[in-house]
């Protein structure tokens, strides 16, 4: 088997249209599974939904003192958007030192680099603690694939997880949690000419939104993930001009740090709001934080320094969420670092690209991680 090039693999993966919704990740996942299986990895597909499998690939069986390292990424991408692209977003063209297309930075280049790195290190991996690759579907709609995977499969002990989301190969130590809620105010409908006979749900919702602007977060910010935030992102209510609306819904997007359980936050918000405002969970993604002094963070950052020759920047976190939130385990016992070749500023954008040099650098960092004791 000739060595697989991570840039070539990126272009190949970009040509699989995995725009989510609907996802249609099967062909892309099968392609990666076949490559890994041909290279001697044990592969297992775990369906999230029909035609939407997560892939778990393993090599080596771990050893008593060190469990395997885990690499993770998702194959689905966000839609292409309304704006026209200046190149074909699904052709996987290479031009001007970049690979072009939807899902290059976020995050098929990261997957390609981890797959080729693991294959290049396979002799070493089959002898030592080994490696687990977790390649998921349905991440862009709220880590649904990874959440389903950990409900059905125990990944076993892991040394740590590298999530190859875009970071320009800088090590990120985590990200905030995302807790999205829908709030519903109900009222009583009446003819628009007789509003005194109804109860206006829109006005109730507006009162609650005003009140929420004064909501004091129950926990303080910290140096790691900063302050918690709350945003009202969407509102809808009423049927027509001449009726009193009996229903109004709005959404809350709360970004959380390490100091609060989402269930506690929900109870606090519900107690703060009026009792007739019903709060329902839409997305519940825990925060991730790996303290810089932990053994895994020290290993990743020291390998990164050796490969890049750069001094270590102050610890930072990603602005987006990742599958690491679920793969770290309910008790958050598995350390997670985010490190991938994509540019976070290009993720989800029109004319998304990824630098070829970053892809090769990511492969080198991943290989160095697997060869470092």
Q: Site residues (CB under 5 A) for Zn ion?
A: 106-107, 165
Q: How far is the CB of 206 from Zn ion (least distance, A)?
A: 35
Q: How far is the CB of 146 from Zn ion (least distance, A)?
A: 11
Question: 185 burial class (0-12, 13-18, 19+ CB within 10 angstroms)?
Answer: buried
- The 3 state secondary structure assigned to 183-210 is EEEECECCECCCHHHCECHHHHHHHHHH
Q: How far is the CB of 191 from Zn ion (least distance, A)?
A: 50
SS3 category, 160: strand
Q: Which is nearer to Zn ion, 144 or 246 (CB)?
A: 144
Nearest-angstrom CA–CA distance, 94 and 124: 32
Q: How far is the CB of 69 from Zn ion (least distance, A)?
A: 20
Q: Which is nearer to Zn ion, 159 or 323 (CB)?
A: 323
The residue at minimum Cβ distance from Zn ion is 106
Q: Which is nearer to Zn ion, 142 or 292 (CB)?
A: 142
CB 34 within 8 A of CB 24: no
Q: Which is nearer to Zn ion, 28 or 252 (CB)?
A: 28
Q: Which is nearer to Zn ion, 129 or 340 (CB)?
A: 340
CB 273 within 8 A of CB 181: no
Buried b vs exposed e over 17-39: b needs ≥16 C-beta within 10 Å?
Answer: bbbbeebbbbebbebbbebbeeb
What is the dihedral sign for C-alpha 247, 253, 257, 261?
Answer: positive
Q: How far is the CB of 110 from Zn ion (least distance, A)?
A: 8
Q: How far is the CB of 106 from Zn ion (least distance, A)?
A: 4
Nearest-angstrom CA–CA distance, 328 and 214: 33
SS3 category, 288: strand
Nearest-angstrom CA–CA distance, 224 and 320: 15
Q: Which is nearer to Zn ion, 265 or 288 (CB)?
A: 288
Q: Which is nearer to Zn ion, 106 or 121 (CB)?
A: 106
Q: How far is the CB of 72 from Zn ion (least distance, A)?
A: 11
| C-alpha to C-alpha distances, 90 to 33, 353, 355, 359, 362, nearest whole angstrom | 21, 11, 17, 18, 23
């Amino acid at each position: 088997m000739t060595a697989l090039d991570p840039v070539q693999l990126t272009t190949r993966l970009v040509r699989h249209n995995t725009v989510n919704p609907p996802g249609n990740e099967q062909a892309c996942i099968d392609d990666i599974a076949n490559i890994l299986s041909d290279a001697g990895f044990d592969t297992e597909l775990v369906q999230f939904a029909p035609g939407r499998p997560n892939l778990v690939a393993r090599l080596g069986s771990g050893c008593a003192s060190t469990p395997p390292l885990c690499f993770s990424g998702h194959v689905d991408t966000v839609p292409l958007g309304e704006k026209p692209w200046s190149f074909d977003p699904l052709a996987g063209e290479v031009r001007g030192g970049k690979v072009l297309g939807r899902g290059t930075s976020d995050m098929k280049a990261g997957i390609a680099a981890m797959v080729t790195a693991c294959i290049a290190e396979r002799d070493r991996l089959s002898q030592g603690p080994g490696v687990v690759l977790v390649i998921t579907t349905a991440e862009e709609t709220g880590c649904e694939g990874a959440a389903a995977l950990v409900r059905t499969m125990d990944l076993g002990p892991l040394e740590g997880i590298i999530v190859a989301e875009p970071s320009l190969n800088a090590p990120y130590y985590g990200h905030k949690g995302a807790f999205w809620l829908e709030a519903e105010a109900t009222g009583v409908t009446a003819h628009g000419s007789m509003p005194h006979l109804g109860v206006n749900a829109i006005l109730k919702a507006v009162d609650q939104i005003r009140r929420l602007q004064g909501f004091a977060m129950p926990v303080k910010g910290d140096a790691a993930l900063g302050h918690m935030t709350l945003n009202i992102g969407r509102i809808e209510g009423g049927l027509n001009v001449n009726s009193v609306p009996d229903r109004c819904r709005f959404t809350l997007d709360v970004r959380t740090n390490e100091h609060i359980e989402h269930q506690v936050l929900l109870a606090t918000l519900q107690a703060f709001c009026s009792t007739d405002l019903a709060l329902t969970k839409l997305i519940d993604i825990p925060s991730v934080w790996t303290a810089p002094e932990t053994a895994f963070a020290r290993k990743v950052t020291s390998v990164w320094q050796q490969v890049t020759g750069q001094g270590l920047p102050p610890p930072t976190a990603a602005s987006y969420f990742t599958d690491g939130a679920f793969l770290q385990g309910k008790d958050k016992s598995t350390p997670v670092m985010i490190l991938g070749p994509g540019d976070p500023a290009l993720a989800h954008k029109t004319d998304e690209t990824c630098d070829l040099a970053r892809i090769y650098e990511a492969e080198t960092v991943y290989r160095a991680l697997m060869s470092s004791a």
